[in-house]
Amino acid sequence: MTGTQWAVVRPLMPVPGWLEGRGGRLEAYCHRTMLDAVHYLVDNGTKWRAIPADFPLWELVYAFFRR
């Protein structure tokens, strides 16, 4: 994802609860990395478990996608 694309998408992403003082855990990966993983999945038509090791674990990406 380019910087220009991220500038458009970033305001649409939900703010984590811990940033707004609502509690919760810190997130292990940034939203941009997670979106890159989902984009890779959609672009290449792979299965969740076949996401390359360059991205976070597929379970974490899937949970992010579900939210």
C-alpha 59/C-alpha 66 separation (Å) is: 10
The tens digit of pLDDT for each residue in 1-16 reads 888 998 999 888 877 7
C-alpha 15/C-alpha 43 separation (Å) is: 26
pLDDT band at residue 64 under the 50/70/90 scheme: confident
The tens digit of pLDDT for each residue in 16-59 reads 766 677 776 777 788 899 999 999 999 999 899 999 999 999 99
What is this structure's pTM? Answer: 0.78
Contact (CB, 8 A) for 49 and 18: no
- Quick one: which of 26, 21, 67, 29 has its CA closest to 51? 29
Give pLDDT, residue 48. Answer: 92
